[in-house]
Amino acid sequence: MEWSCRPAGFDQDCFVRIVSKISAMQQLGRQWQRAGKAVLFVPTMGFLHRGHAGLMERARQLAGRNGRVVVSVYVNPTQFGPKEDFARYPRDAKGDQRLCRAAGVDVFFAPGDAEMYPADFSTAVQEEKLAGGMEGAARPGHFRGVTTIVAKLFNAVLPTAAVFGAKDFQQAAVIRRMTRDLNFPVKIVVAPTRREADGLAMSSRNKYLSPSQREQAAVLRRAIERAQEAVARRPVAAAQLRLETARMVAAQPEARLDYVEFFDPQTLEPVRTARPGTRMALAVYVGRTRLIDNDEL
Ligand code: AMP
């Protein structure tokens, strides 16, 4: 187990313990469990930004002074498709550790590939109802990778609760279902999406965008707001909202709509008519970068 630098005036709030071995993490988790501490866990793929910091702040708040907050950083290869951006996914371990320290995180858990996926690894966790549409349909195998890694991380960290972002709404729903179905004693908490000034949801992938693409990317949020305004006046056919979204996206020279869905937030089943409470989610390629967003209408 290594320790990060000790800043001058060291106190508990600006000191993050770095753990890379699963056994060391489990040992800490068991120790905290015996002491009856709340353990709040925030799983991430790193390149941390203020969106992630929001989850950590929520975790810190729920953990209280006596509880512990663990952030994992692991770019999970099994949730990327063969043509996706695994190899070029941005990484910045030092920056991530700094952000965790500032957010009052206790443990920075960064397991290695060899330990996470030994050469003869041959098990997977798959949710079979909520994971089928939207991201699951557009990215075959994605959720199987997500549920497998989150189950493994739960078994490594042994948290009492885990915090996920509403930005990945379907992911949070799939994980909540997996947690219940497999009886993980973990409470699932969902924290709101943090956005840039123009409404673009913060994402590690925003780094890929050129300045012009970055401007065009605001169309995801604008499309959601347009739908929210329409639905606030009267119920609207999902087909009509879909058409309107497609038009807005097509007006951006480098943007291409992957999907837009209107669905029940509990079952994730598509609705024919969107009304207040319906959830809207969309995925848009801006250049080669695939961005997602969602919100309640
Ligand atoms: P990632 O590192 O992209 O896998 O995300 C790790 C966690 O952070 C997931 O629960 C995401 O939903 C959450 N997250 C990512 N971006 C945001 C954001 N802009 N606001 C809130 N949560 C976010």
114-162 tens-digit pLDDT: 999 999 999 999 999 999 999 999 999 999 999 999 999 999 999 999 9
Which of the listed residues 150, 167, 188, 203 should we mutate to test ligand 1's pocket, taking the one with most ligand atoms within 8 A of CB? 167
Q: Mean pLDDT, to the nearest integer, of 257-265? A: 98
Q: What is the mean pLDDT of residues 24-34?
A: 97
| pLDDT digit string, tens, across residues 189-242 | 999 999 999 999 999 999 999 999 999 999 999 999 999 999 999 999 999 999
Q: What is the Cα 292 distance to its own chain's centre? A: 11
By most ligand atoms within 8 Å of CB, the mutation choice from 40, 44, 52, 290 for ligand 1 is 52
DSSP characters over 194-219: PB-TTSPBP-GGGGG--HHHHHHTTH
Q: Which residue has the tokens 């708040």?
A: 61
pLDDT of residue 153: 98
The CA 45 to ligand 1 mean position distance, Å, reads: 9
Task: Report pLDDT digits (tens) over 63-103.
Answer: 999 999 999 999 999 999 999 999 999 999 999 999 999 99
**pLDDT for 14:** 59
**Ligand 1-lining residues (CB < 6 angstroms):** 44-45, 51-52, 54-55, 164-165, 167-168, 191, 193-194, 201-204
- Of the listed ranges 85-89, 212-216, 246-250, 288-292, the least confidently predicted one is 85-89
Q: Of all protein residues, whose CA lies closest to atom 6 belonging to ligand 1?
A: 44
Cα of 76 vs centre of ligand 1, distance in Å, is: 14
pLDDT at 15: 84
Find the 280 Cα to ligand 1 centroid distance in Å: 18
Q: Which two tokens stand for residue 5?
A: 């630098």
Query: Which of 41, 42, 44 to probe ligand 1 with, by most ligand atoms within 8 A of CB?
Result: 44
pLDDT at 182: 98
Q: With contact defined as beta carbons under 8 Å apart, do 286 and 217 qualify?
A: yes
- Distance between Cα 56 and ligand 1 center (Å): 11
- Catalytic residue numbers? 52
User: Residues 1-24: pLDDT tens digits?
Assistant: 444 444 443 344 458 999 999 999
Instruction: Give the Å distances, CA to CA, from 191 to 46, 52, 276.
Output: 17, 10, 20
Helix (H, G, I), strand (E, B) or coil at 121: coil
Whether residue 88 contacts residue 142, with contact meaning beta carbons closer than 8 Å, is answered with: no
Which residue's CA is the closest to the ligand 1 atom numbered 12? 165
Phi/psi at 73 (5° precision) = -125, 110
Pick the atom of ligand 1 nearest to 204's CA.
Answer: 3
- Tokens (6 digits) for 290: 């695939």
- Residue 168 Cα to ligand 1 midpoint, Å, equals 7
